Structure 1
């Protein structure tokens, strides 16, 4: 290629045509944004600078659902933070509740029954599987894989129904309380678990064929928006996106809470850090959640239900909770990444300070770094796989 031809090829389309790059805003009411991200836990606004269909610059605008719950609950009793905490996510809301209760129990010196610990672990894995299936459905929607979208949504409904049965209500119900839980597993849950678990496993097999092994889907995902291990650390990315970048960090294994130290499971890790690896990690994590659920069910079934039944708690029984002066920091592996709480007490009835470390907030700032140079139609699949949940981003 001659020098003039090389110079021409190196110029952007906008330069060659003598026009300015196009700036497109994909707001929260844009049909594509609503259809993809709403099912995955929220929304955001994207300001995209385009050269042809290539992204030259990207701004992720968050805060559309800002509540300021960290400051709000500092003027309320400790227990009134629970509804706010649950709304950090939707399907993953029970995980956030458990994380907050674990931190508060450590600060207040509360002990919980063994059965409660295993119940909480089971519920966390059910919430993770439900959240991940919603993520896969959003990804399938974004790339136009209609059959995979339908199958993932059906699997999500099965997992969500199982989650609701385990806690006696929707995922935003205040089920986990300091010192215990509001309800035990219903009778016959073991049999329902076996049946629904098999349905979810078949869903994963179908999604593997339709997304991870189908040539059209593979072409849409491989080498798209790669995130290096160095960039993942720099942006404080955690969860499946971090593991897809090749870093085998999972708090369930590395800093176990609940009953995770007694469970056998594997931590899936990617090599390229692209959309394909992120999807593969999410699908495998659902399988591992089912595996851990089997172990939880087996352990709970071995306990004498009446003898091991912990005292059920609610708001009234916790109303006089005394929290001594002190501070505590605790993190739990949520469906989106590392979810942490920092609590400070001065011995009074309300928190002196409450700080939430929400993983989606950090993931939002990493999106421009991986998407500059990518195509516009890669934006929403990548946003879905980066686990952007507006409840966490906005807080």
Structure 2
């Protein structure tokens, strides 16, 4: 049978079967087998009244921003930062007109607008007891008082609004002028009489000479609650740490524990100091590195220390200090560069400001600074960040923006 005849026979058979099944509602087959090759299904869409699939309409384009609220999660931590007070008033045995309390944080810095730091960040401005090489941008503001530490300190407080003053006794360095501890103490006394804010007393960096100077200054300024800047593990090796710590504690002063970007070293130095004085008399300096020379590492170290302290590490639960003036060690802060980098008189203060603002966000409690413009910027920023009702800026309406 040809293919054509087969098709005809199938059609005839199909019609015959349909006629036999007309009026039959149910058919039962026995020994039935069906072979199906390719199967195609055709579903009409909206033709001849047969219901089909209707595609959704194109959604309307938004005409305004969707408003969504935000409630920051309130987190609590098992630890907190100890409070340390710099300076002592007459009632407290000193001669300061006011004191500064730092520390006390219970959360990471500015992590929740509803929980600002307990105590305001303090700003100390630098004074040197000798002529030191400074960039022109720094010298310009203090050129008339650089030969007189007391007048320099007075300008920092009365003109620039410094919260406290750092007196760097650089002339005591055995490799520079090798001035005696008694001469250094005389300078500190002059500054104490010139201003009534708390003082930070810096040494020259020599572990033996600094120990002698700090011991003399501690005794001569007994009761003033100075912050002696600083004690190091090198002093422990030179066997001078104990003498400085006892002199500070017996005369009512504080110690700044300085280590170089290494938390284990910081913890070790603090443990050694606990043998001679309570933790409430210790401030940490974890080292500040200039922008472009490792500032991000300084930020990381400070942030790690703060988080560890809040999580309960008692050896790191101390307020921290930053020498933001280290920014001027970066040559980009003071050297002449291409015009697109702006004038160095502007670039330098910005360099110092960025260093300070960066570590402010890491939780640093007190800054040693120098340029008046950088100090003024930090004063404005800290005031704004301490407010609980800071305005929320409106997002730009990019939906209606046309290119």
TM-score, normalised relative to structure 1: 0.26
Q: Which has the higher helix share?
A: 1
TM-score w.r.t. the length of structure 2 is 0.25
Greater Rg by CA: 2
